Structure 1
Amino acid sequence: MLCESNMPVVYPTLLLCVYGFFSNLRPSEPFLTAYLMGPDKNLTETQVVNEIYPIWTYSYLVLLFPIFLATDYLCYKPVLVLQATSLVVTYVMLLKVQGLLAMQLLEFFFGLATASEVAYYSYIYSVVEPAHYQRVTGYCRSITLFGSAAGSLTGQLLLSVAKVQLLHLVIITLASASVAFVAPWLLPMPKRSLFFHSPGVAKERPQSNSTALLEKTEDSESKVPLKTQDASLISRSAEAGSHRSGLVDVLRMLFSDFLQCYRCRPLLAWSVWWALATCGYFQVINYAQALWENVRPSHDYEIYNGYVETLSTLLGALAALLVGYLPVCWSLWGELALCILSLLMAVCVFVMDTLRNIWLCYSSYVLFRATYMLLITVATYQIAASLNMQRYALVFGVNTFMALLLQSLLTVVVVDSAGLGLDVFTQFFIYGGYFAAISLVFLLAGLCKMASRRRSKQEVLASSPEETESDSPPVSAASSC
């Protein structure tokens, strides 16, 4: 627990946790497709899947980078208020308005709220000291997962036990969003930010014990150029401290850091998987309800989407926690692990698509989400281990942007009525093939990496005894973990 002398830390952390819990407490979320296709909105499956849901993807993509810059320039709090407002508007529209165009506008506001999540996860770093980063990050991230799971479970219990209508779940979700709307207004206004209002010299991001252990097993090429504060970065940071950086200066700095970060091959490999897998993950979870609705129509049978979302969220959180205890040298076996687990995700999607049994669909979905949460946590650790706080935000933002760009292209071609407008079963067959292709890419990458390591070791053994004695420790260190 945080001691009394750290009350300035407790107050914003508590408010952020309240906001994170209630903004993610959405009992109607697991039943959104059934609600839109039911008597309350009376939309067709084609309208929901091919014309409404794609708007969220496009909105998220278009708004992500402007919101990222606005969040830093406005010092987080105004964007948190914007997110809270967007959520309230979203659920007011879901409750009150009718028609295709109105639902598309609703998806735009939800995309705005989703893009604004960057303010929630970065605000706390501007008001607390680095010594508290790890603890407050854990609080804020875990409370959002708990809120999401609680919302899904509440919705299912109300639907199955209390026999409430889906409309009532939307009302409860709106009430929760309204409670969340109050919290950002009470937060203190930060006086600094990462880029536009940064201090004189950029501070190193403190590492947790798990991150420090990961750093020890990293290849040397992934640490040296990224973790150190080079002279150009210090001079730029000092200039930012003396006066507010202009937009052009910030963009130039971001582009320079972007080029330097992605020259690191291990970081690039994890980032490629991040972008590819997150694209497919978003598509699967966005359209899973439509698939379930075809397998087990809600107007004919009782559905259990809420239980499934609750279980998958909790298992995903558990998988993320287990990452730190897995005896795997990710720097050595990472590509092959990504290959095997991406193939498992592909199998889960194929099972959902081809067998068309609702219980197998539910089980495969839970396993799919848990696997993704485990791997994305590993990717987060592996990328963050060699980055300072400034580049941490940049790389994660770029990876998310690339995932959304790929998702938008996939949506235009496969889902959108302007493209092929395929039915949901054909879509999931394509998503299964997509994850199988990711698995193949990282199988080839893993084999190439192992062959490269073997050649390097043979070259060391073939060299002179003096060179062998001086060069062998790095090789044995790399292979012993």
Structure 2
Amino acid sequence: MSVFFPTVLLCVYGFFTSLRPCEPFLTAYLMGPDKNLTETQVVNEIFPVWTYSYLFLLFPIFLATDFLCYKPVLVLQASSLVVTYVMLWRAQGLLAMQLVEFFFGLSTASEVAYYSYIYSVVEPEHYQRVTAYCRSVTLFGSAAGSLTGQLLVSVAEVDMVYLVIITLASASVAFLVPCFLPMPKRSLFFHRRAGAEEARPRSSSRTATRMEKAEDSDSRVPLNRPDISRASRSSEAGSGSRGLVAVLRMLFDDFVQCYRCRTLLAWSLWWALATCGYFQIINYSQPLWEHIFVMNTGNIWLSYSFYVLFRTTYMLLITVATYQVAASLNMQRYALVFGVNSFVALLLQSLLTLVVVDSSVLGLKVFTQFFIYGAYFAVISAIFLFAGLYKLASRRHSEQKALPGSRAQSETDSPPTGGTDSRTCVCEGSQSSSSS
């Protein structure tokens, strides 16, 4: 029951926060008669605010989430969504829509509370199953919201403002759910149980062992051991809570320790680079499609198909990367590494947005932007392709170099058999002993 109740509530919360029928039509709504904004204002002046807000709020929200024990930040996220859609419904003007993007960035940064709350109220053996439930429900809510919006617009010909109202109603339901969640009594960093060890699933421990064996000797880091950086955590031995300075010092020590592992560093680098480009594509795909409607080129369904393929491929690969990173980490470092990877992705996205999209720098048109995004992914693909080929060639070279030495060693160590196959001798010996 202690696992079932918060899991059900979190699934309900995740579904209603992700049920956003207006999201696929946001660009058309802002440029339509309800808001009457220009494409330049929407693409180059409004949308970048979300990226900047998300970047600057992520780390403070990350610390506040742990210090406040998750539940208050869940309330903050739901409140931000309610404010976002109330303003999107009623407010007018460029500045008001920029404030909408700020509150939506606050809500997005607060998602860390949703995905980390469960680890404070259930035992480690339930982590994998409960995480799967929560992520599946949020994806289902997102898909259901998009499908609902498409059906209402295409079939029922509902005005887009009603999609905003439906989304606001969904956010209001989500706002009520955290009130019934139990308040956690511990957290990963600030409020830990005195003398508690860093728990993690056994399956991940076995996977971490296999990963460490596959790495080179100079890059092996026992990331799942609870006694690493013990000196920086000695202050918590007699108390269950720590101050900000001690937490920051511990996070820095763990950061250095984790990213010494070259396998984890490579997967994290791919994660950050791919996520940066992924966010740019999904944020600015709607203005691209608006141009293809206007131009009537007939390629809109081709664009839709490649968009679905792109998002599916990213979701598949980010799942693999998530597993590879998490397999060698305990839950405390899981939160740290995932937070760092998200922050790096947002930092890169902010730089890309500032240079390419923001009207204060280049402010390029949407077609030009997507040419740059295509080149960005091409460069990433080339880098990781050559890195993979280099690693494969190095491994084969090392195996071939070690092969003559291993043969000579085996010949030296093997006893003289007088030209008889050793396997035959073993078999004969077993047969003679059995006959006797």
What TM-score do you get using the length of structure 2 for normalisation? 0.89
Q: Distance in 2 between matches of 1:50 and 1:67?
A: 26
Equivalent of residue 288 in structure 1, options 273, 285, 290: 285
- The answer to whether residue 363 in structure 2 is matched with residue 444 in structure 1 is no
Alpha-carbon displacement from aligned partner over 1:276-304 (angstroms, at most 9, x marks no partner):
1100000000000010011114xx99xxx
- Deviation string, structure 1 residues 223-245 (Cα, Å, up to 9, x no partner): 64212223533871771661421
Match of 1:338?
A: none
For residues 283-341 of structure 1, give each alpha carbon's deviation from its aligned partner in whole angstroms, at most 9, with x where no partner exists: 000000010011114xx99xxxxxxxxxxxxxxxxxxxxxxxxxxxxxxxxxxxxxxxx
- Residue 187 of structure 1 corresponds to which residue in structure 2? 181
8 A contact 1:214–1:381 mirrored in 2: no
Counterpart position of 1:273: 270
Query: In structure 2, what residue type is equivalent to 1:124?
Result: I
Instruction: Tell whether the 8 Å contact from 1:460 to 1:467 is kept in structure 2 after alignment.
Output: no
Partner SS, residue 222 of structure 2: helix
Which residue, out of 338, 343, 347, partners 1:405? 347
Relative distance call for 1:78 and 1:467 in structure 2 (3 A) is: farther
Distance 1:254 1:416 in 2: 33
1:55–1:104: 8 Å Cα contact kept in structure 2? Answer: yes
Moved more, 239-248 or 102-111: 239-248
Asked whether the equivalents of residues 198 and 237 of structure 1 are also in contact (C-alpha less than 8 Å), the reply is no
1:45 aligns with 2:42: no
Q: Would you say how many aligned residue pairs link Structure 1 and Structure 2?
A: 407
Larger Rg: 2
29, 40, 43: which one pairs with 1:35? 29
User: In the alignment, which of 349, 366, 370 is matched to residue 308 of structure 2?
Assistant: 366
Tell me how far 1:464 sits from its aligned partner.
4.9
Check whether the contact 1:197–1:241 (CA below 8 A) recurs between aligned residues.
no
Secondary structure class of the residue paired with 2:229 = helix
Structure-1 residue corresponding to 2:199: 204
User: What does 1:430-469 correspond to in 2, within 5 Å?
Assistant: 430-465=372-407
Q: Does structure 1 retain, via aligned residues, the 8 Å contact 2:67–2:191?
A: yes
- How far apart are 1:130 and its partner, in Å? 1.3
Structure 2 CA distance, aligned partners of 1:451 and 1:444?
10
Match of 1:10 in 2: 4
SS at match of 1:68: helix
- 1:269, distance to aligned residue in structure 2 (A): 0.7
- 2:261 is aligned to 264
Q: Calculate percent identity across the aligned residue pairs.
A: 75
Aligned residues of 1:257 and 1:391 also touching (Cα < 8 A): yes
Question: Deviations along 1:36-61, whole A, 9 cap, x unmatched?
Answer: 00000000000000000000000000
Report the 3-state secondary structure (helix = DSSP H, G, I; strand = E; otherwise coil) of the residue aligned with 1:463: helix
CA shift for structure 1 position 8:
1.5
Letter of the 2:191 partner, please give it: H
Amino acid at match of 1:137: T
User: Which residue identity lines up with residue 32 of structure 2 in the other structure?
Assistant: G
Offset, 1:451: 1.9
Match of 2:415 in 1: none
Instruction: Trace 1:65-84 onto structure 2 (pairs within 5 A).
Output: 65-84=59-78
TM-align CA RMSD: 2.0
The TM-score, its normalising length taken from structure 1, stands at: 0.81
1:201–1:238 contact (8 Å) kept in structure 2? no
CA distance in 2, matches of 1:431, 1:266: 26
Rounded Cα–Cα distance in structure 2 between residues aligned with 1:377 and 1:263? 22
Change beyond 3 A, Cα 1:243–1:213: closer
The answer to whether the Cα contact below 8 Å between 2:211 and 2:328 also exists between their aligned partners in 1 is no
Question: Does the CA-based 8 Å contact 2:356-2:362 persist in structure 1?
Answer: yes
1:151 corresponds to which residue? Answer: 145
Any idea what SS the aligned residue of 1:360 has?
helix
Once residues 86 and 444 of structure 1 are traced to their aligned partners in structure 2, the CA distance between those partners, rounded to angstroms, is 44
Name the CA distance, whole Å, in 2 between partners of 1:184 and 1:241. Answer: 32
CA distance in 2, matches of 1:170, 1:208: 44
- The farther-off stretch of 450-459 and 81-90 is 450-459
Question: Which residue pairs with 1:381 in the alignment?
Answer: 323
* Structure 1 unaligned residues grouped into runs of 5+: 1-6, 302-354, 470-481
Q: 1:113 aligns with which of 98, 107, 113?
A: 107
SS of residue paired to 1:228: coil
Whole-angstrom distance in 1 between the partners of 2:13 and 2:40: 35
Distance 1:367 1:241, change over 3 A: farther
Give the alignment partner of residue 222 of structure 2, picking from 218, 222, 225.
225
Q: 1:26 aligns with which of 14, 20, 39?
A: 20
Structure 2 counterpart of 1:201, one-letter code: A
- In the TM superposition, residue 207 of structure 1 has moved relative to its aligned partner by 4.5
Deviation at 1:214, TM superposition (A): 7.3
Deviations 1:381-425 (A, max 9, x none): 111111111111111110100000000000000000011000000
5+ residue gaps in structure 2?
412-436
Residue number in structure 2 paired with 1:337: none
**Would the alpha carbon gap of residues 205 and 213 (structure 1) be closer, same or farther in structure 2, given more than 3 Å must change?**
closer
Aligned letter for 2:392?
A: M
Question: Is residue 426 from structure 1 mapped to residue 368 from structure 2 by the alignment?
Answer: yes
